[in-house]
């Protein structure tokens, strides 16, 4: 099932049998080397991790776990601690093409809950804090994820430019007056 970061942010984490509240989803930890969602950050009394391998299911109203003992401190799970040290967030990270064209920042991202893999990033430029010119970029177009930026293939922009170039222009309009929205329509 595909979910987005905004859908899951703030969801309660509950034990399957007792329905007891274990915390709320605060952040997703993504491995920048392979796009795998490895854990959720949650907070109850202190900051804890919930490895995605311990998630039984994700519903519209909660993240369900079999065992509350799955929650651990960040230093208790070495593999996840190493990903955290890479410090490569997805949400709010700036996105550039390989040729250094700024596309905007990540305003949301999508992932598959079967396999916990990043599938798409929603990127938008902001004007006065309001997202505009939104693009949905497939994760296969991501070249690298670093702490301060995400780099995507130039083809992401070239496809949009090709769509604009392929549009039929009315005979009475000069090419300079052709207007399109940011999605290339």
Predicted TM-score of the model (pTM): 0.77
More confident residue, 167 or 102: 102
In which element (H, E) is residue 6 found? helix 5-8
State which fold the 94-166 domain adopts. Answer: SH3 type barrels. (2.30.30)
Q: What is the predicted pLDDT for the residue at 104?
A: 94
**Nearest in space to 150 (alpha carbons), one of 108, 88, 107:** 88
The closest of 66, 91, 70 to 80, measured between CA atoms, is 70
- Fold match flag (2-86 vs 94-166): yes
Q: pLDDT tens for residues 13-72?
A: 999 999 999 999 999 999 999 999 999 999 765 689 999 999 999 999 999 999 999 999
- Residue bearing the bigger pLDDT, 144 or 176: 144
How far apart are alpha carbons 141 and 133 in whole angstroms?
A: 18
| Angstrom distance (rounded) from CA 28 to CA 90 | 9
Q: Chain-wide mean pLDDT for the chain?
A: 84
Q: Which residues contact 147 (CB under 8 A, 6 or more apart)?
A: 86, 87, 88, 89
Take residue 155 and report the two structure tokens written for it.
């083809």
Average the pLDDT over 95-121 and give the result: 95
3-state secondary structure of 97: strand
Domain ranges of the chain: 2-86, 94-166
CATH topology of domain 2-86: SH3 type barrels. (2.30.30)
């Amino acid at each position: 099932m595909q979910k987005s970061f905004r859908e899951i942010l703030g969801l309660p984490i509950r034990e399957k049998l007792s329905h007891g509240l274990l915390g709320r989803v605060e952040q997703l930890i993504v491995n920048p080397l392979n796009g795998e969602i490895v854990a959720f950050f949650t907070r109850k009394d202190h900051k804890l991790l919930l490895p995605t391998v311990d998630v039984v299911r994700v519903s519209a109203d909660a993240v369900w776990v079999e065992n509350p003992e799955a929650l651990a401190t960040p230093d208790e799970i070495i593999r996840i601690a190493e990903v955290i040290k890479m410090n490569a967030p997805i949400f709010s990270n700036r996105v550039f093409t390989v040729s250094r064209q700024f596309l905007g920042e990540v305003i949301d991202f999508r992932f598959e809950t079967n396999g916990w893999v990043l599938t798409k990033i929603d990127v938008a430029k902001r004007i006065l804090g309001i997202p505009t010119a939104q693009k949905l970029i497939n994760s296969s177009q991501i070249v690298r994820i670093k702490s301060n930026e995400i780099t995507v293939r130039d083809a992401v922009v070239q496809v949009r430019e090709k769509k604009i170039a392929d549009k039929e222009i009315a005979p009475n309009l000069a090419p300079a007056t052709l207007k399109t929205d940011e999605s290339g329509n």
